[in-house]
């Protein structure tokens, strides 16, 4: 939804609310951005970008519009694919979960998030409904931000979905956290409300970055981007360049981050050299992406059918039939890595399959993936470390 002026209630909130964060830090990226929407507007001339998300497994971005249009772009703005769901879908943001081929479209009219398969170019029929907590107010102020925070990062333990949806409500500026049933479309399971900065009622974008381990919440009326821990603790507030900003994501090229903003006025802006440091207790160790330690249940192809859709081992199933022969120096196959309390490593691939490696016989380990590759660094807590080829489980 376009916002050109502050509302009266927001102006009064700024004046009257004690402790309101109105003095933001400088923008932590190049001040001048580049519009990469030129080719996109050749496909959809009236495209109004309202949400954007980077998918590391595909090294591409998905951007959505208020009129139900969805497009997959390269980081330079080339259109890889595009779809038109129809103007009945008022899409306000987009998120990616554990599977790199699925995105979740935040739809304002119904207060739902619809699963969309990028490989088939179609809605899957699954959705999660937030309407018990988030609704349109005055025909516009509804769900405006959506992101996905994986298990091991948020404070709510292990979920059946593998993570939680964080939905932002424009009406009150807060974030509402929901679990979901991966097998059944329906109402989300409310977990908590994260109360944001007092007076900030114009939340327009949400994004969780696995690189910085922070949740970013954007407020286009104030031109402010906040960063918070996944549990909602305030970290910093930045001046956010642009106008009518409705989406935010971080991309990575050779380990260098860029911020991409979707502007409802028609632009998709890239700001290079985004330098917001990762949380000390977050997902970075020695500059590498680190997964939190989670104890997985026993489940190595339990039904014995050998299908690569469960937890598998090389001993049982051989190398991954698709990714096992790929070049580990250029990774587009691994979406997440996780250490265990028993010396094991779990690798999740872009198709959703999981492989279970056992580099150590015992002990708690944390595991990292070197940016842009499938090389895994496995560190035994209080002990030694080694490197693995994440596509095969073999030591380097």
Q: What is the pLDDT of residue 227?
A: 94
Is the whole model's pTM more than 0.95, yes or no?
A: no
Residue 289 has pLDDT above 50, yes or no: no
Under the banding of pLDDT at 50, 70 and 90, the label for residue 306 is low
Distance CA 345, CA 392 (A): 12
What are the chain's domains?
Answer: 8-277 (2.120.10), 288-389 (no CATH)
3-state secondary structure of 12: helix
Residue 136 has pLDDT above 60, yes or no: yes
Distance CA 89, CA 71 (A): 14
Q: Which residue has the higher pLDDT, 303 or 66?
A: 66
For 252-288, the pLDDT digits (tens) are: 887 789 999 999 989 999 999 999 887 644 443 443 4
Q: What is the pLDDT of residue 1?
A: 44
By CB atoms closer than 10 A (0-12, 13-18, 19+), residue 268 is buried
Strands (E) located in 287-394 = 288-291, 311-312, 334-339, 345-349, 354-357, 365-369, 375-380, 385-389
For 179-237, the pLDDT digits (tens) are: 999 989 999 999 999 999 888 888 999 999 988 889 999 999 899 999 999 989 898 99
Under the banding of pLDDT at 50, 70 and 90, the label for residue 308 is low
Q: What is the pLDDT of residue 330?
A: 85
Neighbours of 186 (CB within 10 A): 12
Whether 35 contacts 269, CB under 8 Å: yes
Of 221, 233, 341, nearest to 279 by C-alpha is 233
Q: What is the pLDDT of residue 242?
A: 93
């Amino acid at each position: 939804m376009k916002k050109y002026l502050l509302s009266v209630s927001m102006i009064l909130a700024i004046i009257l609310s004690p402790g309101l964060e109105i003095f933001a830090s400088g923008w932590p990226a190049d001040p001048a951005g580049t519009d990469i929407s030129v080719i996109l507007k050749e496909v959809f001339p009236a495209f109004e970008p309202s949400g954007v998300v980077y998918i590391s497994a595909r090294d591409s971005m998905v951007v959505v519009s208020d009129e139900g249009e969805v497009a997959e772009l390269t980081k330079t703005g080339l259109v890889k694919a595009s779809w038109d769901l129809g103007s009945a879908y008022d899409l306000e943001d987009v998120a990616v979960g554990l599977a790199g081929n699925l995105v979740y479209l935040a739809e304002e009219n119904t207060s739902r998030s619809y699963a969309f398969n990028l490989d088939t170019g179609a809605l899957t029929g699954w959705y999660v409904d937030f309407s018990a907590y988030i609704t349109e107010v005055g025909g516009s102020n509804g769900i405006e931000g959506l992101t996905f925070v994986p298990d091991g990062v948020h404070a709510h333990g292990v979920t059946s979905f593998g993570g939680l949806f964080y939905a932002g409500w424009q009406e009150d500026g807060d974030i509402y956290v929901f679990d979901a049933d991966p097998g059944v479309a329906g109402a989300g399971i409310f977990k908590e409300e994260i109360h944001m900065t007092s007076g900030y009622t114009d939340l327009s974008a949400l994004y969780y970055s696995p690189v910085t381990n922070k949740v970013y919440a954007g407020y286009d009326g104030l031109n402010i981007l906040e960063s918070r821990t996944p549990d909602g603790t305030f970290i910093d507030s930045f001046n956010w360049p642009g106008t009518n900003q409705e989406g935010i994501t971080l991309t990575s090229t050779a380990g260098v981050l860029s911020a991409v903003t979707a502007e409802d006025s028609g632009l998709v802006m890239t700001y290079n050299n985004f330098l917001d440091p990762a949380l000390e207790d977050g997902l970075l160790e020695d500059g590498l992406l680190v997964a939190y330690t989670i104890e997985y249940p026993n489940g190595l192809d339990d039904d014995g059918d050998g299908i690569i859709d469960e937890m598998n081992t090389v001993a049982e199933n051989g190398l991954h039939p698709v990714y096992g022969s790929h070049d580990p120096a250029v990774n587009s196959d691994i979406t997440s890595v996780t250490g265990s309390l028993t010396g094991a490593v779990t690798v999740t691939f872009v198709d959703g399959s999981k492989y279970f490696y056992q580099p150590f016989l015992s002990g708690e380990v944390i595991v990292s993936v070197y940016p842009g590759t499938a090389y895994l660094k496995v560190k035994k807590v209080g002990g030694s470390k080694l490197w693995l080829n994440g596509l095969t489980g073999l030591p380097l």
